[in-house]
Structure 1
Amino acid sequence: MMKKNNFYLPLFLVALFLSLNCTSKDKISFHKRNQKIKVAGGDIYSFSIGLSALMCQIISEENDQCQTEATSGVSENIRRIQERENDFAIVPEYALKKYFYADKTSYLNLTLRSLLSLGHSSFYIIVPKGTRYKKFDDLDQIGIEQSDTSGQKIVKILDKSNKIRMLKTEGILKSVEDFCQKHDHALAFMDTAPSFLISFIKKACPIREIRLSESEMNRVIHQESSFRKVSDILSFKDTQRKTIERLATRLIFITHDAIPGDVIKNILSEIQENFFFIKAYHLSLRNLVFIGCFKDMPIPRHIGVSWFLQNIAKEIGSSAVPISQYIPQTLDVVATKSQLEKGSLALTSLEFNNNIVTATKTQNTLGKSQTNNNPNPAPKETETTQ
């Protein structure tokens, strides 16, 4: 009997060694194909693809550790997260509520994690310059991207008489092309503020913006709590810094439950480190187009990241400074322990909204330490791969 046990002992030790080796942190795979970190973006000309690329720059020091993949939009981002083809995605808060939280017991809902709120995506309506349209009630046709569920929801709520025909296209470029060629309808879309798309469209055709009234915005917010009013700066070149209110929804950085807790902890630490980096160095950006006289003013709350990147590219060589050093001071860090311990997080819950931490926007905080400015502790290592 002793000889038989001695025979199996080496086999047992080998099996134990292999088991421990396979479960070590270095061998943890994010998904079944053990690929690099993947961030699902959006249409190649959309805001999300630029923000996804920015997040990849923050997450990894070397570009080959993270890649951004263009998608057709929100629904594909959701599918890719569900099937773990991608590890992270940026999805509007309204879309999360619509798709993820309709059924709290669904597989998708139980495996979702919300990590960060990355500012807002604002609602815009433009019409050809010189047309008869003056206000929203004058409109009868609105072009809109097929995957823009947030914009479509706003239009449906505002269309009290159900008279507006939505002309849905498969991409934002097609929407812009139809709008500029036909001159017979409005164009609605979600973008950051200031809008990179409006700057892009102005080069193609003359336009005029239709702004929603206070009562129209309140009606949307009353019917759908994931929308809110935000103050958008009209122009950074305008010395008076005029602002207007727009409807907006938060952009949420999400992942799935197969990402290990220690990986999330490292990613969030990297994001927070870069997030505070601009506080010490943003004065060196005073000559950039969008900064203007910013050395005497706080960085705006809803700066557009796509627009931000475009202007960075114009002003400095792409290889001059790592883009991760120029993270806008608008990231809302949502990284509490409770949010990462189990399952998903209902974005409409009181807990979520109470845990949003908005960065201080005044120059007076520049001298404070990162410890004082970082109210959210790093999350506990709670997850293992499946």
Structure 2
Amino acid sequence: MAKTLHRLTARQVTAKSLPPGVHHDGGGLYLQNREHGHRSWLFRFTHDGKRHWMGLGSIEELPLAEAREQAAAFRAEVKRGINPMSKRRENYAATVSRTSRAMTFEKAMDRFLAAKSAQWSNDKHAKQWRSTLTQYALPKLGSMPVSEITTDDVLRVLEGQWLKKTETMNRVRGRIEKILDWATAAKHREGDNPARWRGNLKELLADPTTAKNEQHFAALPYDQVADFVGDLRGRAGMSAKAAEFVILTAARTTMVRGATWDEIDLEARVWTIPAERMKGRKNQRREHKIPLSDRAVEILESVRGDHPEIVFPSTTGRAMSENAMLALLKRMDRRDVTIHGFRSTFRDWAAETTHYPHEVVEMALAHTIKNKAEAAYRRGDLLEKRRALMQEWADYCQPAKEGLE
């Protein structure tokens, strides 16, 4: 390096027009010495009657021979009437544009989740994000470059389900917004965020806080169920245990309130509800078996012996009244949900975060099979598949304070 600088010094051209610390190497190439020992190459040229200085890089990254080659190439461009600075900016813009087109929404989602995973205490959040986006956003946006996504594209994702699944779709909208914010910060797109609510989608969609949900019972978003269960476990009384049992089994409240010990097989871990207690027309009713998760069995063991017949008795010794769980919710100050609504919570969770077939989830909910051909074909109860599903649901409902989140 010392010999190189010596040669440069020998070829310096002293000129009053040069800024301090700038030395001429010849052919428009200059060496710039700045504070703290930083040295870099400059190329000076005249285009359309104006003089320009063009940075080429530091001497550590660009050796003298290569700097002179670049200066020669730029001199040739100037002779052809080309401004090398403008050309370089155009090439850079084209490269950025190609990079932006290559960054699809799906790739941006993967990059965002990878960047945020370190701040999440467990992988449940990432799974929820990926599951909902995979189901709703990727079919419409996945292969699109993030730089080309517009408000109309986001609306194509949301509109069909907005009134049917308002809570879920509003979460999807927010997640799309955050991914596009990341893409903007990472220089893969420019301009306003097309998934932004205020001043944008707010004018095109019903307000999620007042939109009429097509569900008949107020349902808690599934990503809040673990906190709700944690609140239940902190409360004494039979109604709190019965409410958690309703949630874990995805059963109707009437089924749980009327449950008797002769329906429960703790050894086989199965609760068999007789046909006469099932909902529906009498000629279509059939007994319903519910596989019991580890936590459901724990609840049953905790109330065993409280009554010889009724699983969840009231303080009077009779079956729990239909108002018992309603009173529980009032004490919890949770007028925003109903216990029955947790069936919808379970259904949304299963559809959006698991890969269980539709018929397995429907059978877990004891829904009637309306298609006669399907009903005739499917005569089994899919008990073992449902057992895995219900255990996974129970694990998901486990409160954070239990150390499993």
Verify same fold: TM over 0.5: no
| Higher Rg | 2
Give the number of the structure with larger relative contact order, counting CA–CA contacts within 8 Å between residues 6 or more apart: 1
More helix by share: 2
TM-score, normalised to structure 2's length?
0.26
TM-score, normalised to structure 1's length?
0.27
